[in-house]
Structure 1
Amino acid sequence: MNPIKEGFGALKGAPAQTLAQWQNQRWLWFVMSGAALFLILSAMGYFQWFLEMDPCEICVYIRFSQCCILFAGLIIAIQPGNNILKVVGMALAWYGVLQGMAWSIELNALHDSSHALDDVMATGGDLFAAGGGGGACSTEPHFPLGLPLHEWFPYEFQPSGICGEDDWSLLGLNMAQYCIIAYSFFTIGLGAATFGWVRSLLKK
């Protein structure tokens, strides 16, 4: 039987028990880390290198949150049954997911604000009355714990673009909106894994 089909069959038949079993297996956390790694490499490889789109301050913060999710999965995958590693990994993962979502929403707002200028100018309106104009970005990011990531890894974490100024879109959605979608999936997946973990603890 197809293992994927079998797994979803088990999830449908006994969702709570299946989630409790899955969260205790390495593959689940490797999938989470792999998804975060895909987003990081897409940002650096496709957008920054291939399209030559310089990352803004909020962009590098989003990358940082994805790194938190990446390392959280690897920490838990060391030994998924170890509750100490699970607590550390879960805390780091939830921080990355929630903070990443907040930064993505902020970037989307800045995107809308900065592109209001184009819309207003095209219709001959008053930019100031419309509240247009993008938000200011800093070239000196401030990461948690004072980590100088922009000095250690400048290509990845040194902002050199303007927040919200990108014109990239796919199927009518911009980069920030795709980030919001990605973090929504992370929230659902991590929420399910957390539920399974708590249930397994209560059953002991």
Structure 2
Amino acid sequence: MLSLLNQYSQSRFAWFLLFFSTLSFEITALYFQHGLGLAPCTLCIYQRCAIFGIMLASIIGLIAPKNILARLAAVLIWLFSAYKGFALATFHAHLQFEPNLSDTCSLSPQFPAWLPLDSWLPSLFNAYGSCADKIWTFLTIEMSQWMIIIFACYLIVGLAILVSQLFSAPKSSMWSK
């Protein structure tokens, strides 16, 4: 099983699927924001950045899937982004379901001075919603809870891909062509 995952991780198709999934989530977030008029909060914007981190990892994997160093760098960026996204989504759900006066989120994202994303692309990275608001539900699950599920899936798959790098891929494969 793990050698098969290693084999998949060496194909551009697998990295393209990762890229496509993150692109789909970003397009969905933009539709929620601009199409449905749902106001993103600061934690939503940070989670969007975590998805972009996973997208960056997929691009690195797409460029050089056969190179073990590039693949490991991509998987580590993927895991770091998925972990940060999971932590942010968990805190976001905590703010919504267990409100506490000492727990707050800022009104605007705090990006580093060398990377002011909210100034460069305000339509993508400007937050104007409240973290405590429950603005969207699907199948009785709030958006913050969906993000926990999404990031947990990214984290589990990323960990499996990382562990699979210890196992050699089969010599012949339909994925390696």
- In terms of Rg, which structure is larger? 1
Q: What is the CA-CA distance between 1:142 and the residue it aligns to?
A: 2.2
The counterpart of 2:14, out of the listed 21, 24, 28, is: 28
The counterpart of 1:79, out of the listed 55, 64, 88, is: 64
More helix by share: 1
What TM-score comes out, normalization by structure 1 length? Answer: 0.76
Question: In structure 2, how many angstroms separate the alpha carbons of the residues matched to 1:60 and 1:94?
Answer: 19
1:44 paired residue number = 30
1:98 paired residue number = 83
2:151 paired residue number = 183
Question: In structure 2, how many angstroms separate the alpha carbons of the residues matched to 1:17 and 1:57?
Answer: 40
Q: Is the CA contact 1:56–1:160 (under 8 Å) kept in the aligned structure 2?
A: yes
Cα root mean square deviation, aligned: 2.0
Aligned CA distance change for structure 1 residues 36 and 82 (closer, same or farther; 3 Å): same
Question: In structure 1, how many angstroms separate the alpha carbons of the residues matched to 2:39 and 2:107?
Answer: 12
The counterpart of 1:109, out of the listed 94, 115, 124, is: 94
Question: In structure 2, how many angstroms separate the alpha carbons of the residues matched to 1:188 and 1:137?
Answer: 27
The counterpart of 1:69, out of the listed 40, 54, 61, is: 54
Question: In structure 1, how many angstroms separate the alpha carbons of the residues matched to 2:44 and 2:148?
Answer: 13
Q: What is the CA-CA distance between 1:140 and the residue it aligns to?
A: 3.4
Q: Deviations over 1:54-80 (max 9, x none)?
A: 111100000000000011001111111
Unaligned 5+ segments in structure 1 are: 1-14, 115-130
What is the aligned residue count?
169
Question: In structure 1, how many angstroms separate the alpha carbons of the residues matched to 2:105 and 2:6?
Answer: 43
What TM-score comes out, normalization by structure 2 length? Answer: 0.87
Unaligned 5+ segments in structure 2 are: 170-177
Q: Runs of 4 or more off by more than 3 Å in structure 1?
A: 133-137, 143-146
